[in-house]
Amino acid sequence: MKKVFFLTFLIAGLAVSSRSVAQVFIHAAIHIPLPVPRIPVPVVVAPPPPPVYYAPAPRYCRPVPVVVAAPAPVYVRTYYRPRPRYYCDNVVMVRERSRGHYYRRW
């Protein structure tokens, strides 16, 4: 039965296409669907990586709070020492009112 179908398709293929008998036979022989069993693939479960321990950050990397435009202390609000504009850690940046002096640190 298979041979009859094979010859029928071979003759039909020759009638439709411009290929030779050898080309149609090779094409039919190559393109026969073959059942391929599925090969089980082993699943390898790797152990989890060790936890990463970070060293503590050095002291100079810690954020330093900076207060901008804070009210000045009472002793600074005198006529000869103008009101500070910016505060740093231990340095107060003061904007001078006189000409030629831009900032004073103390």
44 belongs to a structural domain: no
59 belongs to a structural domain: no
82 belongs to a structural domain: yes
List the domain range (segments joined by +) for residue 101.
Answer: 65-105
Residue 11 token pair: 């003759």
pLDDT one-digit tens code per residue, 55-83? 777 777 777 776 666 666 666 555 555 55
Report the percentage of the chain scoring pLDDT > 90. 0
CA proximity to 92, closest of 63, 73, 60: 73
Whether the model clears a pTM of 0.75, i.e. scores above it, the answer is no
State the Cα–Cα distance between residues 102 and 95, nearest whole angstrom: 6
27 belongs to a structural domain: yes
Across the range 82-99, mean pLDDT stands at: 53
